[in-house]
Amino acid sequence: MIRLSIILPSYNVADYIEECLNSVLAQEIGPIEIICVDAWSDDGTLEIINNYAVNDGRIRLFCSDIKSYGKQVNIGIEAARGEYISIIETDDYIEPNMLKHLYWNAKKNKAQVVKTEYKMLYGKGDEELCENAFYIPKNIRTQYAFDTDVEAVVHNWDSYIWNGIYQKDFLNAYKIRMNESPGAAYQDIGFQHKVLNYADRIMYIRGNYYNYRVAREGASSLNRNCLRYVYQEYKNIIESTWLKKGHFPFVLLRMHTAFTREIGKALMFEEAERDPDIDEEFEWFIKTIVDNNEKLLFSRNILSDEQIECYKKIFDNYKEYKAKQEEEILFIKRWYREFTTRLGDFDLVLFGCGKRGIALCHFFLRNKCKLVDVVDNDCNKLGKAYGPFIVSNPKDAIRKHPDAVFCISNKNNTQEICSQLKEAGIKDNQIELLVGDFESIPSIAQRHPEIIT
């Protein structure tokens, strides 16, 4: 009996497909099959998969005439012969023991779904940066059947399909498949909501077994039409007959998160490059949220103050909210461009290795800035790899690079760090602060620095 069918949907990922395939082939869990579904890649991806298939009988290759991530996954599900199914992005890779842990936990606990934690990667090879792992919230028990105490947290946290395995009989019983719209962005929304809607035995296990690549060149998440894809998926869900009444508020929560992120990203494109239906889609989102305001805000303990404030701004005047977003985005774009022009010839030292530091480091490396060192005051980070750098002590960096410009990415201790640098002899014109309140534009500048280059 085949224990696991691993579905690998691909399109033009020649730079990553071997790493992905090797990580899957290294799994040691007994009988598996690897179902590769390619959308007729033209960059060599298909040839690479073919070569692997010739040498390993576990690999089955299918081709989709439609360039649709949803269609490709559905082809894989229909072809799957395994007891459980895994869907892995072909620009990502997994740790050697991931599927073993997920499968045996599923068998032991008779789970319909088992999910795990993951890491986020920026860049590739020597320039690869790893963001802090995404951990399962503490108030989610390791194993449970849904109950009202944790359901909202699960819906808000469990956003992806690739960090888990799914019992094939469960998927078939509830006809859980993906929408087969063109492209590859957000087609897993309906799939994930159906899983959470129907499952009564989900298990979450701790451990960072999945490596998720963020913001690679050509990634579907950078598509200018992502707002439309979110709109299509959620419109289908809201108008569906399968959604349980009790799950509706959680779907609204997730819809809010997706829409506020994508409206920010959509506005980062120049006017001529934007989705022409952006106003219609955004108005539908606002109307849906306003019409269901009481259902959405029924449990304020799961909404942050920032989310509530965001709602208030949108409800008061969505056009004013949109204009404010555009203003902030243009400011950040201008700052980045001015920054690279003004400091392009200087040695740069990045001060701070948190999430902002990762985004800024990724931006520097992509734009060929002269980044010479990365430093942090946190002794637990010293000596650790940070892309092509080893995190060093600020004093050592100041001694080695006394004429460099120090770029502070730390949000909470900016003034203290400025004082620290000045006391060590660094001049005012050698200190650069990360601009703006990046959280006001839901992580766009952090997650997708390519858009603004």
pLDDT digit string, tens, across residues 118-151: 887 776 665 556 655 566 665 555 554 444 445 6
Average pLDDT, the chain: 80
- In this structure, are strands 59-63 and 32-38 parallel, antiparallel, or unpaired? parallel
**pLDDT at residue 217 in the model:** 59
Q: Kindly provide the residue ranges of all beta strands, DSSP E only, lying in 112-270, ordered along the sequence.
A: 113-122, 129-134, 143-144, 164-167, 202-214
| Whole-number pLDDT of residue 213 | 85
Q: 366-374: which pairs have CB atoms within 8 A and are 24 or more residues apart? A: 366/123, 366/449, 366/450, 366/453, 367/340, 367/453, 369/340, 369/343, 369/344, 370/344, 370/345, 370/346, 372/347, 372/348, 372/401, 372/404, 373/349, 373/397, 373/400, 373/401, 373/404, 374/349, 374/350
Burial category of 29 from C-beta neighbours within 10 Å (exposed 0-12, middle 13-18, buried 19 and up): middle
Give the pLDDT band of residue 257 (cuts 50, 70, 90): confident
Q: Check whether 339 has a pLDDT greater than 70.
A: yes
> DSSP alpha helices (H): ranges in 2-125?
17-25, 45-55, 69-79, 98-109
Domains, the chain, ranges and CATH?
Answer: 4-118+142-213 (3.90.550.10), 334-452 (3.40.50.720)
Q: Which one has a higher pLDDT value, 452 or 245?
A: 245
300: confidence class by pLDDT, cuts 50, 70, 90: very low
* Alpha carbon distance 371, 206 (integer Å): 35
Q: Is the pLDDT of residue 442 over 60?
A: no
CA dist 225 → 218, 332, 333 (Å) = 14, 21, 20
Query: What's the pTM?
Result: 0.76
Section 414-421 average pLDDT = 90
pLDDT tier, 246 (very low <50, low <70, confident <90, very high otherwise)? confident
**Does the structure show a pLDDT above 90 at 182?**
no
At 440 the pLDDT is: 37
Going by pLDDT thresholds of 50, 70 and 90, the confidence category of residue 269 is low
Q: Give the pLDDT mean for 350-369.
A: 79
Count other C-beta atoms under 10 Å from residue 121's C-beta: 20
Give the per-residue pLDDT at 195: 92
Query: What is d(CA 192, CA 204) in angstroms, rounded to the nearest whole number?
Result: 15
Contact between 69 and 178 under an 8 Å Cβ cutoff? The reply is yes
Q: Across residues 209-224, what is the average pLDDT?
A: 70
pLDDT at 224 over 70: no
